[in-house]
Structure 1
Amino acid sequence: MKRARYPAAKRALECAARSAGRMPTANVRYDLARLRGILAYRTERIDRALPFYECAAQIARSSGDREGLAKMRNNSAIAWHRLGQSGRALAHLRESMRLREAMGREPTGANWMNLADIHDALGETDRAMAYYESSFRAYARAREIADMAHVRQTMATRALQRGDLAQARRWLDDVVSLAKRGDATLAPFRLRAYAALADLALREDDLAAARRWIDEGQAFVSASDGLRAPVDFSLQAARLEIRERDADAALRRLNDALAALPSDDADRARVFDALSHAQQAAGDLDGALRSARAAQELDRARDAMRRNAQTAAIRQGVAIDRAVAEARARERLGDRRLRAFAILAVVVAALTAAAILRARWRARLREVEQHARHQEEVARYRRLADELRVDRAVLEASLDSRDDAVCVIDGCGQIVAANRRAAALFDAEVADLVGVAFVERLPEDARPTFVAALERLDDGIVERVAYRRECDDTTWCVEPSDRRYGDGAIFLRLAPAVANSAQPPAVDPPEARHVRDSREGFHAALVELMLSAVDAWERSTGLNRLELAERSRIWRVSIDDGRLRARTMDRYLSLSKFPQNPHWRDVLRTAYYVLAQCPLDEHARAELQRRVEAVLGYTRRDAMV
């Protein structure tokens, strides 16, 4: 990414995500989210960068990584600033600096740099320049030469915008000096400094000085293996060639620069605009017109993000002008009419305020009543969901009475109960097994087979998974039950490979029963309930169904080809994929979870309740509860 090779960076990130496996560590997930956000930011997809930054921030917060959280808040501040949200940008930046101060560290050069950019955008030039100096000193203490060059180049750009050419030239000379001291990573800064110095010379009509800077930069590019001139350098070189009446050279340079840029690069508009001027200088008016139109199209796409803000500013200006005009009109009225109008205004305002307060009080009473009803409903739904859960104490007592080794896992694959025989097989205590993913207790070569066996349980296919214990070199089998109970619990029986085929499968609890009558209607009702619950979740929270599966902890979420999937949950969203042995309690618990946790409107809540009652009607009629 530092060399702007963004397609290659995207492929590298995808490869890294696949290599991380299905259960990457927190550090790996943090780095993947952070780098994806940086890639989106560098490719001008600012709105897509923010979710990645927020994801990385949440991972850092959950793992106690305050340094990582401070970095992500700093990155979010940059993105919000680019979107024109200075208030949010300042809030995120201040949080980043507070986190660093809490760790006993001074603000970084990046913190000062971003703070300077925000204040510069707000028009506070003096304060912005002071922050730029603080950023430069912080980078100097850290001996970050590349960042020092970046700060000086930014300061030179601001000086050029103010028309302070002498100060800009001094700072650009600093950039060149710093770049010559550093390694190859500073080459782009050096070339951009040459471009800016050539721009200064062209502003002063000193073509010889401009040619000297361009030739020096071109010689540096030729002497560096694999170095490509940045867009700023190509633009200034082409501008000089046009002034020197060598339009053909300018056209070749600009076409080469355009071919090297990705199709979504933000600099393409500038290159097209310069190409239009070069074509016009060469006499190709049709080509100049096409290039100008291409530049306009690209600029129009970038201006779309700023259009809403500009419209709001215009409306605010009109409102202010109208208020001023009305105030001046009122000042021209006579004292008597003004006093009468004032008295009338006070009376109307008092009546209006009284009416508004009364309406608000009534609305508040309705809100209190609705809130009380909602809390009652939430408590009822949570109670109903709890009734569908497995009684842990009864379950553990039942398991300990068995002679064989048995474990129980939840829908997410974590062990919720185990007997002493099973704990002995894993050389652990029962308390140490609870809460641990069962698949982690299996050897590496047996884990994919076990996960595949769990996914085939929905079709009633029970497969034994064999694995070898390294401690005594014996072969054991894991046999899952083909039914789930309570909150999606799955019984697993562990037995030696020889004895496994002769012993019967684990006995299912007495609460498990088959759906016998009206199977098709019952299946359709479950699908409709699941679709309604997912739709209500997505509309009320703005999150997808994978978030519902993870947060409810009812459905298992796995990684397939680098993507998160909830295969079992997805099968309940279509009759064509509906499992033969449906886990209807999991569907009901999902609906109860949405009803209890989501801020649903009255219509959505009533619709979801109606579908819940429809499913409960089937279960009552067929004595399935």
Structure 2
Amino acid sequence: MSSLFAPFLLALISAVSGSEPTANAGDCVKARQQQSESAASVCRSALTLARERNDHSAALTALFQLAILAREAGRYAEAERLHAEIQRTPEFSGQWLNQYRLAREQGILAHVRRNSSSALTFFRGALALASQHDDPALIARSHNDLGNAYRHIGAHQEALDAYTTSLEMKRNLGEEQLGSTLNNIADLLTDLGDLGRAEDFYEQALTHHRRADAHHHVAHSTESLARLLAEQERGEEAMALAREAYATFQKMDRPPDEVRTAVQLAGIADGLERQKEVTRWLETARATATLSGIDLPPRWFSIQARRLAASGQADTALALLEGALEEASAWPGDRRLQILEQVADLHEETGDLEAALAWHRRYNTESLARAQRERDRELNRSRVLFEVSEKQREIERLAADNRMQDLELANQRNRSALIAIGGATGMGSILLVAVGLHRRRNRREAERRERLQQVIEGHKASARSLRTSREQLQQLLDLGTDALLSLDANDRIVFANQAACRLLELDSLPEDSTLDQLFGEGTWQRLQAERRDVAVTTGRGTELRLDLEPLNLEEELQVVNIRTPDQHPHAAEELIPLINRHFSRIQSFGSVLQAALEQGGIQGDLYQRWASIDGDLQLLSEQLQPVQQDIRGEFRQDLVELMAGSLETWERATGKTRVDLAESSGIWRVTIDEGRLRTRAMDRYLSLAQLPKQPRWREVLRTAYFVLGECAGEDDGRIEAGIEKVKRNARRLGLA
């Protein structure tokens, strides 16, 4: 019986017997590949039969086919459920090919659902399985899948690398069906502007498609090559190829492709100044679109309007374009912008400057919106690549944990075997000794843990003591009448004075609040950019103004001055800068004074000037500066070494990065730069050349204490010694 009629015979049997047809896994595969309407019914019948016979392999085949059918029909939740059912099938875990196939299917499902990071993760998992079992054909297929996923997020270079790797492997394997991969590479090279190489790959793709009698693919590759040649002003060659593509689409009865290619031919003819052909192809496209009930592409309206304007019918051309713009909101962004610009230029040519200005403004608005979407897409691309990298790290970590657990289980089995051998040979005394040693070791371990806990508590107490300056600052800010908020390195509100709570009509702020939660999404970003007089509205509709000013004390804090629109930003422009200035000068004077006292004292006349303000403090600092140069240099070196040692211990003990340290401790600010997470403030404390002129040494100490508390037992004494050196030199400089 021909496979073509198998699904229909099964359906007939079902109708006569009143039950599901009996089909095997092979029938299911054939029905799905032939896109039969009864494919789902055939595969469900095959699954039932396989389970009745306890044939797990056939059940897996049917489940995979059902999952593909569900995905192709857009029933994504059903496809996910079937994937889970596949994993529960007994035959699944014993065959790596099943695991590869499922990972690939999960990647394809995530890809069509536009979950790019998951798609890349699944495709990489499939590639890892194929590589582990050295299967070149599946490795090549996985690289092609990765190329599709990278291309979807706009990562053109990564996609090109993946496609090229796939192509080379397929050629080495002697595969003949290379047309789709070659065409994908040509499309990417066109996007990257490498038109010469793109043309070569299109021609190779055409050769492969023609050899395989893949008429639909031949037509699409021919159309793409014609477009490429037209861009290079090779009109005659482009015209011949576009006609060939149109004839193929027409023979296959593909109206959308016919309309698109007819408009392409009109554009090529327009470039060759063959107006009769332009008219013929435009009319052909319109007639086909009308007959098939499909929309005309934007290029059709652009060419038609240009011809109407050239013949003196500018008003008709404008009516055509403006009407099309109102009805066709789904046009691609670049095409829509071209039409908007064409409308504005036509109004300008007809002398309607007011309308021209309005359309130019509309063009600029949509152009800016499109540029923002492109930036968002680029950011999304970086985010996806970052998420995939993080997922890969997590997978590798879990794999390492599994290996460690396997080793531990092996050790336990070995110990159990030794004990069994000891009992079998009557070596009871050895076991008693072993038990005694085990108990003694447990007691020593308990004592060690108790001492370690005491050390941890000491470190945590030291870290808490470093918050004293922040608490004193909060008391100071609470005395004034200005409404103030202070933000930590992670942009969380750590303090709101009483005036701020009254102005915001709140009893207190929830823990870890942010400005965006108080005043709406994007507030903190606007405030960082503008810094002064940022207009916001509270949840109760009160209009306020925000001003931002950094507080340059030992901790990294930002102070936000909240006020009504008619109030002067006193705190941001006067109070906070005054605190910063005096803190800097008093700190400097205290440092040099302490150093001078250790060097034998200072002159009495300088003591009298100690009580003077602002300018005199600066003068004293300059006079005594040479005395503390050596101590300050040593102090700065100690800070860098302590910070570097703390980071090295953290990375070695936890396997995590400096970004994780900054986020976990809440001490250092984490920013996003070019799609990557950065710790710029922390990084400055890892290099003597980049260390700030007035380093926030207390933050370095807090970091060291945090690492000691989180990585107990990992320090070899260098961090504790570094802490003591920093504290000693801080006291010598009058900082503590």
- Scaled by the length of structure 1, the TM-score of the pair is 0.43
> Looking at CA atoms only, which structure, 1 or 2, has the larger radius of gyration?
2
- Scaled by the length of structure 2, the TM-score of the pair is 0.38
The structure showing larger relative contact order (alpha-carbon pairs under 8 Å, at least 6 residues apart) is 1
